[in-house]
Amino acid sequence: FSMGLQGLDKRVEPFEGVRAVEITKPFYLGIHEVCQASWERVMEKNPSHFKSRKHPVENISWKESMAYCKALNSRLEDFPEVPAGMRFRLPSEAEWEYAARAGTKGIYFFGDKPFSIGDFAWISANSRSGHQPVKTKKPNPWGFYDVYGNVREWCLDGYEARPRRKLVDPVIGWKNMDKVNRGGSWDSCEDCCKTGSRSNFGKDYKSNDVGFRLALGFELKGG
């Protein structure tokens, strides 16, 4: 699929350019962001700034989201439905965009104009200065909720400012200083929530608008 800012958008930065990506390994992705109730069941605490069990967990670093995945993998016997060889992890940046794009080629999965984004996303214009319960807006065409807004979502990848042009099952090495964040948040304008928009933070960075979405798949090794 074609990854990066597409459609009629002419304001494309080098770090958001279109590149051809092939995903050959099957994976599953959570239909919504990990909520506070799910985090608390596994980690036995809730670090979120805005506490509400049905809201997305936030105020967690990339390293802490990886620790959550590790904790789930330590109890795989509790998940007999998990296919052999698969493990819980963060989605790669390519997997995240593939699911968020849902087969579309526009600036947003609903088209090139942002006017209807409020039907699908909690952003600065409608969020009442905080995130909201997961699954309360319309999903994208593949059934994924809140891929725009609510909380920014950590990805597995380290951040590469100028992604390579043609990639197969890409994931950038984890030792990179910054980690990729996708989707924008409740504190973002619609311009920051485009399907191809990217942001990056250090692996210890925490904020009340940063969370993650869980993936299940085979191991991906960085280049």
Residues near 81 by beta carbon (within 8 Å), at least 6 away in sequence: none
Residues 174, 72: Cα–Cα separation, whole Å: 20
For the chain, give the mean pLDDT. Answer: 91
Per-residue confidence (pLDDT) for residue 62, from 0 to 100: 97
Q: How confident is the model at residue 164 (pLDDT cuts 50, 70, 90)?
A: low
Domains of the chain (ranges, CATH numbers): 2-217 (3.90.1580.10)
Residue 94 CA to residue 53 CA, distance in Å, equals 29
Taking only the tens place, the pLDDT of each residue in 71-107 is: 999 999 999 999 999 999 999 999 999 999 999 999 9
Q: How many CB atoms lie within 10 A of CB 175?
A: 8
